[in-house]
Each structure stands twice: as structure tokens, then as C-alpha cells.
Amino acid sequence: MAILKRRRKDAAPAVETPTENFAFAAEIPIRTGPAGEKEPLWKLQVQMVSEPQADGERLRLRAHLQTNLASALRPALEAARVGQISALPRPDSEPRALRLAERAGHAAQTVAQRALRIPLVRRLAEPLLQIDFNTWIEIQTSTASLDAGSHSLLPQAERLKTLGIHPKRAGDQPLTESWAGEAPDGFAQVSVLQIDKRHLPPRLLRLLGDQPFGLAATIVNTAQQKK
């Protein structure tokens, strides 16, 4: 897996607002053309930000996962089928992580080629090779005293409202809700999770003591069809 970038930053522009940031991205590239053109078959981006909030601290974690079957694997398989791509040795001067990532991409392509030689597998797989999959995850946790608890931590709350999604407040149990529907070029699903301190198991409650706690998460999955 190739690590494209990794960043950690601790900054304190003022005593009242210190923040801590961490981010990285990784991908597995795959060759899609004779001139060495590459597209990410799989890509992950993660960002984490921690900052003070009232009498506690807020942590926000964002992640984006791409699986590009249509825009990466399909053209790579087609190019290999007509002999446009040959196995070329990678220069030793390239970073080891990049060489390993490209080997992983080549292995995935080889496995897919062999599997598609089986008629039944090919019939089942061909529709999937028309689709790119994306998952966005955003999680927010806080140890601050919040009147609405985890409900006030819901990521992208205003955007959810514009989509006609109005999550309920968590009751005696953690709340999970999902919505799904067609998108202009495929399918989309939105899920939310809300957990307050009262929902935690006794062991965690003892560790937190008198400290408040809330967690809310939004997960968006899309299947985008490519022609």
C-alpha cells in the first residue's frame, strides 16, 4: 500500500484554542494503459482533528474509501486482454512502498483475469465492473457538556436536512437510522449513529467517571455507474 502523504501538526495559536491534526492517504494503483497510465484501484484518505470544546474536548475523524472497479480495474483488464500492457520491471530507485503497492495492484488484476475466465463468475462480475464504490465516514465525539447530547454532534447535519433527512434523538438505547435511494448515476445510502454516555457499558462508565461523553457518526455509501 502506497502512503501518499502523512501529516501530523500540533499548533497552539492561542492558549484557549490548541488543536491537534493528523492526516494520511494511501492507495493501490493499477496500470490502465501501454504508456504506464495508472489509476487508483483502491484509495483511502483519513483526517483527524482534536480541539477543545467548552468544558471538554471534541474529536473529529473523517475517512473516504474508494474502490474503482469501473474507472480502474475494467480498463486495466481490457488493456491486458488486447495486449496493450506488459509486465515491466519497476526501477529500483522508486520508493519501496510504491513498488509494493503496484505489485498488489498487479496481483489484483491477475486474480481478476483468472476469475473472469470462468463463465459464471464473468456473468456475475460484469455488472460490478461498471460501478465505482465510495464510502465517506465522519465521526465526532465529545467530552463536553452538551444540552442535546450526541444529537448535537451529528456530522453534516445541515446537509442532511437539505436531503430531507431528519434524524431522531437517541432514547434509552443507541440510535441507528438508515436511508437509501437512487442517485442520478447510481445508488446512495446514508446511515447515522448516536451514542450517549448512558448507552455505554459499566466498565467504560467507570473509566469516564463524571466526565460527559457523546458520539455521533454519519456514513454515506454510493455506487456510481460508469459507462
Output the pLDDT for position 76. Answer: 87
pLDDT in tens, the chain (227 residues): 444 444 444 444 444 456 779 999 999 988 887 776 888 999 999 999 999 988 889 999 999 999 999 999 998 888 877 766 555 445 555 666 667 777 888 788 888 888 888 989 889 889 999 999 999 999 999 999 988 899 999 998 888 988 889 999 988 889 999 999 888 789 999 999 999 999 999 999 999 999 999 999 999 999 999 87
> Are the beta carbons of 39 and 71 closer than 8 angstroms?
yes
What is the DSSP code string of the chain? -EEEEEEEEEE-SSTT--EEEEEEEEEEEEE-STT--EEEEEEEEEEEEEEEETTEEEEEEEEEEEEEIIIIIHHHHHHHHTT----PPPPTTS-HHHHHHHHHHHHHHHHHHHHHTSHHHHHHHTTGGGEEEEEEEEEEEE-S--TTGGGGG-TTHHHHHHTT--PPPP-SS-EEEEEEEEETTEEEEEEEEEEEGGGS-HHHHHHHTT---EEEEEEEEEEEE--
Output the pLDDT for position 122. Answer: 87
> Are the beta carbons of 140 and 53 closer than 8 angstroms?
no
CA distance 213 to 54: 13
Output the pLDDT for position 2. Answer: 46
CA distance 71 to 206: 49
Output the pLDDT for position 91. Answer: 53
Q: Report the 10 Å Cβ neighbour count for 112.
A: 20
Output the pLDDT for position 167. Answer: 93
Output the pLDDT for position 184. Answer: 79
CA distance 215 to 197: 9
Residue with cell 457499558: 201
Output the pLDDT for position 84. Answer: 61
CA distance 168 to 156: 15
What is the spatial order of strands in the sheet that 175-183 belongs to? 2-11, 19-31, 38-53, 56-68, 131-142, 214-225, 186-196, 175-183
pTM over the 0.85 mark: no
> Are the beta carbons of 76 and 42 closer than 8 angstroms?
no
Domain spans of the chain, in order of start? 2-225
